[in-house]
Amino acid sequence: MSHHAPAQPLTVSARGALRGRITVPGDKSISHRSLMLSALAVGESRIEGLLEGEDVLATAAAMRAMGATIERDADGVWRVHGVGVGGLLQPAQALDMGNSGTSTRLLMGLVASHPITATFVGDASLSGRPMGRVIEPLARMGADVTASPGGKLPLMLRGISPAVPITYTLPVASAQVKSAILLAGLNTPGITRVIEPVPTRDHSERMLAGFGAALSVEDTAEGKVIAIRGEAELRPQAIVVPGDPSSAAFWLVAASVVPGSDIVVGNVGLNPTRTGLITALRMMGADITEEDARIVGGEPVADLRVRHAPLRAIEVPADLAPSMIDEYPVLFVAAAFAEGRTVARGAHELRVKESDRIATMAAALGACGVAVEEHEDGMTVTGSGGEAIPGGATIASKLDHRIAMSMTVAALHARRPVTIDDAAPVATSYPTFFASLDALTGGAPA
């Protein structure tokens, strides 16, 4: 998994209106967590709608390596026989995380409070990403981490049991750091607390409570205090994973900017910590309606109908950043077609994603004839007022799946075809993306 196949360049041309109904792959955040917690429950859990991308499969492989039995039925339902909290086994070889930062950070938390040693390795992109923000609180709990220079992969983590419960205030808004500490707290005697000054996605809290962990969430003057009582007994669950709002994002923008479009994206998770992009697009005038709103497994879900609408530039509220951090690249694409100058700030986190998403998107949009101004923490984009953008460029996606998909969306309303230098990384999060594009546009370009 950790060596890159030859690049797969892809040229995308405008294809006219998007029409029809699709579903998107299961939510990546929920897919990772459902495998991990099922592997710590005693008995068999069933998972429907699991995202079968490379990142989630890396989590499945790691949980198998630590003793869980994980099988996929012919009908796509996954069955997991867990080992119980405290029951993780010493893996026989290094855990290959591929490109998955989520797998790495959350699994470090799980291992930290078990008496085992695990070595984490990843591909070139993941090996450049900083892990210090997770290492620091886990070391306070007693884990011993030997990382590569700069707190990077490969790293070796020696867990400890019993670990020490801590109260930890998050220095940066990060659901992954929060989740790593809570997962470490599962097998730690006493109460482990995370204080969150800025709210981040809460999938871990919802799912831990669903599996039966003793967890409380309290709003205080310092922020949200999430407390978990350790030495938990998790009960097996039947989980239906909702569609990933980060994957739906590409279609919300595509249908908004391509004239004549009218689509329905079914079964999209609408957890309020994940809907920042929908909020921002509606502020810009997007026509997005929720149909058949429902609750599935503790998570709000609806079908989203999106019709083409003229977009207006906005100043993106900085407080939306945590709930749309992965959607900024495609928001920049929406801004490229809006009327006026859209200013998006407060997104420093984009500099340390799979690529530097601010610099990479600024270069990509600029190459396609869009006027952009890069800021340390975001971007100002001058839109086309709904007209097609010039296009005609070859884009460096920097092995980043979200850049590749975002620029595919931009190409759907460009005057000249746009070439993505490597479309292969899209498989990490959305293996059926290009098939869905064909379904909505009646096949390949005319």
Q: The domain that contains 420 carries what CATH number?
A: 3.65.10.10
- Last residue of some domain: 204, 239, 274? 239
- Pick the closest to residue 236 from 39, 433, 99, 27 (CA basis): 39
Please, which residues have CB within 8 angstroms of residue 36's CB and are 6 or more apart in sequence?
59, 63, 106, 107, 110, 183
Residue 1 falls within a domain, yes or no?
no
- Pick the closest to residue 339 from 284, 407, 416, 280 (CA basis): 284
**Separation CA 51–CA 62 (nearest Å):** 16
Residue 4 falls within a domain, yes or no?
no
Residue 3 falls within a domain, yes or no?
no
**Separation CA 192–CA 249 (nearest Å):** 35
326 is known to lie in a ligand binding site:
yes
Same domain, 86 and 140: yes
**Separation CA 289–CA 394 (nearest Å):** 35
Residue 113 falls within a domain, yes or no?
yes
Same domain, 360 and 225: no
Same domain, 183 and 327: no
402 is known to lie in a ligand binding site:
yes
Identify the pLDDT of residue 283. Answer: 98
Q: Are 343 and 378 in contact (CB under 8 A)?
A: yes
Residue 260 falls within a domain, yes or no?
yes
Q: List active site positions.
A: 326
72 is known to lie in a ligand binding site:
no
C-alpha pair distances (Å), 271 with each of 25, 204, 274, 328, 377: 16, 12, 5, 18, 25
- Last residue of some domain: 185, 206, 239? 239
Q: Are 89 and 102 in contact (CB under 8 A)?
A: no
Angle between helices 401-411 and 357-367 (to 10 degrees): 20
**Separation CA 249–CA 244 (nearest Å):** 9
Q: What does the chain come to in residues?
A: 446
Identify the pLDDT of residue 446. Answer: 40
Query: How would you write the pLDDT of the chain (446 residues) with one tens digit per residue?
Result: 444 568 999 999 999 999 999 999 999 899 999 999 999 999 999 999 999 988 999 999 999 999 999 999 999 999 999 999 999 999 999 999 999 999 999 999 999 999 999 999 999 989 999 899 999 999 999 999 999 999 999 999 999 999 999 999 999 889 999 999 999 999 999 999 999 998 888 999 999 999 999 999 999 999 999 999 999 999 999 999 999 999 999 999 999 999 999 999 999 999 998 899 999 999 999 999 999 999 887 789 999 999 999 999 999 998 888 888 889 999 999 999 999 999 999 887 777 777 799 999 999 999 999 999 999 899 999 999 999 999 999 999 999 999 999 999 999 999 999 999 999 999 888 889 999 999 999 875 54
Please, which residues have CB within 8 angstroms of residue 278's CB and are 6 or more apart in sequence?
245, 252, 270, 288, 304
C-alpha pair distances (Å), 212 with each of 59, 231, 371: 22, 12, 51
Same domain, 85 and 219: yes
353 is known to lie in a ligand binding site:
yes
> Is 262 exposed, middle or buried (CB count within 10 Å of its CB: 0-12, 13-18, 19+)?
middle
Identify the pLDDT of residue 173. Answer: 85
Same domain, 222 and 339: no
357 is known to lie in a ligand binding site:
yes
Residue 165 falls within a domain, yes or no?
yes
Residue 406 falls within a domain, yes or no?
yes
C-alpha pair distances (Å), 9 with each of 288, 333, 424, 429: 32, 20, 8, 18
Same domain, 80 and 203: yes
Same domain, 34 and 22: no
129 is known to lie in a ligand binding site:
yes
Same domain, 412 and 318: yes
Same domain, 233 and 272: no
Range of the domain at 229: 28-239
Identify the pLDDT of residue 445. Answer: 52
Same domain, 232 and 88: yes
- Last residue of some domain: 205, 239, 273? 239
Look at the block and give the residue holding tokens 């070889």.
93
User: For 284-432, where are the alpha helices, taking DSSP H only?
Assistant: 328-336, 357-367, 401-411
Same domain, 259 and 381: yes
Residue 430 falls within a domain, yes or no?
yes
Identify the pLDDT of residue 4. Answer: 56
What's at 426, amino acid-wise? V
How many structural domains compose the chain? 2
pTM more than 0.85: no
Same domain, 166 and 266: no
Q: Are 237 and 193 in contact (CB under 8 A)?
A: no
- Pick the closest to residue 101 from 352, 269, 427, 330 (CA basis): 352
